[in-house]
Amino acid sequence: MSTSLAVKIDHLTYTFPQQAAPALHDVSLEIPWHTRTLLVGCNGAGKSTILRLLSGKHLCLGGNILVNDHNPFSPLPLDGDAGDVVNCVYLGLEWAHMEIINRDVRVSELLDSIGFAHFEQRGRELLQILEVDTHWRMHMLSDGQKRRVQLVMGLLKPWRVLLLDEVTVDLDVIGRSRLLAFLEHETQRRRCSVLYATHIFDGLNSWPHRVLHLDRGRIVDSLALPADVQFTAARDAEVAENRDTAGHRDTKPTLTVPKSDSLHPLALHWLARDRDRT
Ligand SMILES: Nc1ncnc2c1ncn2[C@@H]1O[C@H](COP(=O)(O)OP(=O)(O)OP(=O)(O)O)[C@@H](O)[C@H]1O
C-alpha cells in the first residue's frame, strides 16, 4: 500500500502501569518517507517509549499511531514489493542480553536461521559494511562485535520504518560512520525512513532531515535540517536562538550552531535548558 507518511502519531499520551505520571504527553508527529529523524533528550525524556510504541512493544491506548498506515500493535509481518519488506524493525540494547546471543553459536547459523540466503546480496553488503565474519562464535565476541551482528541481522530484511534505540553506542567510529552512510543510502534508494535515538552526536550534522527534542515526554523542539539551523564558522561560538527585530523569541525560531561535524553543541544547549526548567 502506498501512503504519503512513514509515521503518523496523533495526540499520543502513554502512562506505564504502576506510574502516576505519563511518560509521553500529547505527542503528535508526522514523518515523511525517505527521511532520517533524530530523537534528542535527557535520560528518561521518553525517546525509547516513543520508539517502543511505534514498534508495537507497548499498546497505545491514548491517541493514535500509524506506521506505514498500519497500527503497530497488529502489524502485518511483511508488506509490499515482492512480499519481502518488513513493515517496521526496532533495534534496541536489550538484544545483547538474550541468552541465544551468548551461546556457542556461529554467526552463519544465526544468519541462516533468519533467511540469509533469500537476502544474500543485501546480507553480503551488510557483512562488509559492518565487518562481520560469519565464522565468529557469539560467546567469544566483544560487545561491539555482538552489536555488529545484531545490526546485520536486524537490517537484513528490507524494512519500511527502522527504529534505532541507541544501538550504535558500542560501535567503533568507522563502523558507526559506515552504518550511518548505509542508512542514508537506504532512505535515498527506496521508500523507507529511519528514527534514531542517540546520545552520540558526532558525524551527524548533515545526516538527519529533522531533529526532535523531547523533554519530560513532550516534543519541545522540532528542527528541519538544513532549513532551521545555520552552522557558524566559529567553532567556539555559542548556540544562538535567532530572534525577531523586537527581540522576541520567534514561535518557531531558527538556531545558529557552531560549525563542527557534530550536533553535540545543539544537544548540550537543549539539555542544559531542560535542566534549567526543573
Ligand atoms: N518499563 C517501565 N515501567 C515504568 N516506567 C518506565 C518504564 N520504562 C520507562 N519508564 C519511564 O518512562 C519515562 C521515559 O523513559 P524512556 O525509557 O522512554 O526514556 P529515554 O528518553 O529513552 O531515556 P534514556 O536516554 O535514558 O534511554 C521515564 O520516566 C522512565 O522512568
Question: If the chain, 278 residues long, is cut into consecutive pieces of 10 residues, what is the mean pLDDT of each piece?
Answer: 81 93 95 97 96 91 91 68 80 80 91 94 95 94 91 95 91 87 96 95 88 96 89 68 67 69 79 80
How confident is the model at residue 224, as a pLDDT?
A: 93
Alpha-carbon gap, residue 251 to 106, rounded angstroms? 54
For ligand 1, the distance from its centroid to the CA atom of residue 11, given in whole angstroms, is: 19
Note whether 270 and 221 are within 8 A (CB). Answer: yes
C-alpha cell at 122: 543485501
Residue of the CA atom closest to atom 2 of ligand 1: 16
How confident is the model at residue 149, as a pLDDT?
A: 94
Bond before 32 cis per omega within 30 degrees: no
Residue of the CA atom closest to atom 18 of ligand 1: 46
The reported pTM is 0.88
CA distances from 216 to 5, 150, 237, 268, 274 (A): 26, 30, 28, 16, 9
For ligand 1, the distance from its centroid to the CA atom of residue 170, given in whole angstroms, is: 20
H helix and E strand count, the chain: 6, 13
Q: Which domains does the chain have, with CATH numbers?
A: 5-277 (3.40.50.300)
How many residues are given for the chain?
278
Residue of the CA atom closest to atom 5 of ligand 1: 16
Residue of the CA atom closest to atom 28 of ligand 1: 44
CA dihedral 16, 22, 27, 33 (to 10 degrees): -20
Which atom from ligand 1 is nearest to the alpha carbon of 46? 18
Measuring from each residue's beta carbon to the nearest atom of ligand 1, which residues come in under 6 Å? Answer: 16, 19, 23, 41, 43-49
How confident is the model at residue 260, as a pLDDT?
A: 67
Residue of the CA atom closest to atom 30 of ligand 1: 44
For ligand 1, the distance from its centroid to the CA atom of residue 194, given in whole angstroms, is: 21
Which atom from ligand 1 is nearest to the alpha carbon of 49? 18
Question: What are the tens digits of pLDDT across the range 134-145?
Answer: 999 999 999 889
How confident is the model at residue 127, as a pLDDT?
A: 96
How confident is the model at residue 80, as a pLDDT?
A: 53
Instruction: State the DSSP string of 131-181.
Output: T--TT-BGGG--HHHHHHHHHHHHHHS-EEEEEEESTTTTS-HHHHHHHHH
Burial of 252 (0-12, 13-18, 19+ CB in 10 A): exposed
How confident is the model at residue 99, as a pLDDT?
A: 78
Element (H, E) at 184: helix 173-189
Residue of the CA atom closest to atom 26 of ligand 1: 43
DSSP state of 97: G
Tell me which of 47, 91, 278 to substitute to probe ligand 1's pocket, judged by most ligand atoms within 8 Å of the beta carbon: 47
Note whether 114 and 95 are within 8 A (CB). Answer: no
How confident is the model at residue 1, as a pLDDT?
A: 45
C-alpha cell at 192: 523507507
